[in-house]
Amino acid sequence: MTSAKDRIRLGADIGGTFTDIVLAVGPSGDFGDEKIFSAKVLTNYSAPEQAILDGIDIVIREAGVDRSDIGVVIHGTTLATNALIERRGAKTALVTTSGFRDVIEMRTENRFNQYDLNLRLPQPLIPREHRFPVRGRIGANGRELEPLDEAGVEALAAVIAEQAFESVAIGFIHSYVNIRHERRAQEILSRKLSVPISISAEVSPQMREFERFNTVCANAYVRPRMATYLGRLRMRLKDIGVNCPVFMIHSGGGLIAVETAAEFPVRLVESGPAGGAIFAADIARRFGLEKVVSYDMGGTTAKICLIEEFAPRTARTFEVARTYRFSRGSGMPISIPVIEMIEIGAGGGSIAWLDTMGRIQTGPESAGSEPGPACYDRGGTWPAITDADLVLGKLDADNFAGGKIRLNEGEAKRAILKEVGDQIGLDAVATAFGICEVVDENMANAARVHAVESGKNISENVMIAFGGAAPLHAARLCEKLGVELCLVPRGAGVGSAIGFLKAPFGYEALASRFTRLSEFDVEVVNQMLADLKESAERFVRAGTSRSIVREVTAFMRYAGQGWEIPVLLPDVPFDADAPVKLADLFRDNYQRFFGRSIDALDGLEIEVVTWSVKAMDERPGVERRELLTKGRTVEPSSFRCVFDPAVGAMRRHSIVPRGLLVKGDLVVGPAVVVEDETTTVVSSLFDAVVQNDGSILLIRKVRNT
């Protein structure tokens, strides 16, 4: 982006309940120094773009600018994710290699619960009768073993047209190493069909056919809907006078052009949460926090992400639609670069219910924005977490969302008692506390699982809490996790949308090329990496004129192992000593990754499975700030009774408007800090100090021993 485009930038995040809009106005586009104007609008399910347009009108009015002044729009959405989870995608055909028709149904031999004979797994996106095998075979080394049956592909085109398929996915065995058969099949089908055709070697050029086939199926499944939506959004933006470039944030945390997003919409599956992780990483960098856990709780889901050395953890595969909440392997794998996080159905709109044993449960079903929690008074009858927060006194019924939504506490109590409390013999307050405790404990368990799977101790991290609901629950979550410090940033209620404005233009190009170090061909590998660099930079150049930085990674393992680890490489061409240097880098990373000696593995062959080149535009530096842990006590002007878990009863809390707080102010808990987009509960075990950028630092009080 040029400086002119940087001056006034708009971020739009469509969530399951709210659509968040952020307008940043700054004379030079220096991140962190702009004026921020924000709005939360209920998501419009039938026309998602309408909520964006409504939000734009709010923020430009507050900022005193015109629609035509907006220089760039950066957008993230959960629409692709929701289409996969709710199975609301296009009628899709899968064309695959003869003999591999059932790969997406057979999955892998891994069982996430070894002794459960009744495992429930997500059904394949494409039913068996919509999968069409053709003859032709590429070997693992990339050589053609059997020619593609081109006549068979032509015959399939007629069948696909006759059955009115809306999209086509092509997934052939070993196409990641030789794309020729997939490209040829795409050419033949394109001559006969007018529907989008996705090929696995472009969508996910990685080995492991189940993950690759499933990913290309997911891309084809959501592609027509996302292309229609993105086209409609651009048209409606132009109609209202917002005639500027529109970019999308992808799952890996970078920005791509709308045209790329429409062709590869599967890369948008985790785009909203990715913005939140970028937001938290930027704050971590500003305060020099090397170990951070971000906590993003919105209206529909909650997300936990580990951030180390100012960067979110990343992965090449993640799962959607898990049938078992914390069980890796129980969902639908999507094989694309992604910011690694754990996500559960625990947002403000998540519904509370009783299981067959009479235990309180929450989610994953959500009241969303239509009709919303019972307290929204829009026809909702089931109790949601927002209802429980209202009954516990955490929310002000008259000033929710800056007064735009008036909450009905009577309806909240009625729903809580009818669906939960009356059946287990508890009053409304006790039931609401039980609901919130279940939510907080589920989130704490998710955080512990995520940290343990990564070999980390969660209590060593500083928490950064954002999203409309996270500051309400952050202090209690810190208590459960043993976390001593928690930052609630300025703009926390719309944190993901702010993160969009801080994201770099970036793209990660991948290629699976099985390479043993004993057979390392310097010329071949250098040419492959040059192609990856050109591909990644081409996507980045579509959106920026800044200088580009690259990150080269090899995913390596010992021969015979099932999974590999990432090894960061110097961005220089390999020379004759490459095998020795790669082996040394791998051993160092392996020992650091697993935390133990590798002497017993000496002598084993080492191999590279996948190569990655990540390109991104260079970001401006940030001014480092120190955390303030002491300050001058603020005298509250009003009070409200809020439930205090420490005493198990309602207790008087100070009520402090965030807009009146300045650097160095100390809010003594218990207190509630209120603002338009969210509310921060400072429990009796914490105090809060306002930082020089407006962030609020929750500090655990010294325990008496």
- What confidence category does residue 547 fall into, taking pLDDT thresholds of 50, 70 and 90? confident
For range 300-328, the mean pLDDT:
79
State how far the Cα of 373 lies from the Cα of 159, in Å rounded to an integer: 46
For range 677-700, the mean pLDDT:
94
pLDDT of residue 705: 35
Listed residue (311, 306, 308, 346) closest to 326, CA to CA = 346
CATH of 506-617, one of 3.40.50, 1.10.3470, 3.30.1490, 3.30.200: 3.30.1490
- What confidence category does residue 271 fall into, taking pLDDT thresholds of 50, 70 and 90? confident
Distance of CA 340 to the CA centre of its chain: 8
**Arch. (CATH architecture) of 89-221:** 3-Layer(aba) Sandwich (3.40)
- What confidence category does residue 175 fall into, taking pLDDT thresholds of 50, 70 and 90? very high
Listed residue (326, 333, 331, 287) closest to 307, CA to CA = 287
193 with 157: CB under 8 angstroms? yes
For range 305-314, the mean pLDDT:
88
DSSP β-ladder status, 92-97 and 131-134: parallel
Listed residue (271, 376, 399) closest to 12, CA to CA = 271
For range 257-261, the mean pLDDT:
88
| Residue 96, token pair as written in the block | 């695959």
Report pLDDT digits (tens) over 581-590.
999 999 888 8
- What confidence category does residue 600 fall into, taking pLDDT thresholds of 50, 70 and 90? low
pLDDT of residue 596: 66
Overall fold of domain 271-346+450-499: Nucleotidyltransferase; domain 5 (3.30.420)
pLDDT of residue 15: 83
431 with 421: CB under 8 angstroms? yes
Q: What is the domain partition of the chain in residue ranges?
A: 3-84+227-247, 89-221, 271-346+450-499, 350-437, 506-617, 632-700
- Asked whether residue 303 carries a pLDDT value surpassing 80, the answer given is yes
Asked if domains 3-84+227-247 and 271-346+450-499 share a fold, the reply is: yes
- What confidence category does residue 327 fall into, taking pLDDT thresholds of 50, 70 and 90? low
CATH class for the region spanning 3-84+227-247: alpha beta
- What confidence category does residue 637 fall into, taking pLDDT thresholds of 50, 70 and 90? confident
pLDDT of residue 5: 45
Mean pLDDT for all residues in the chain: 88
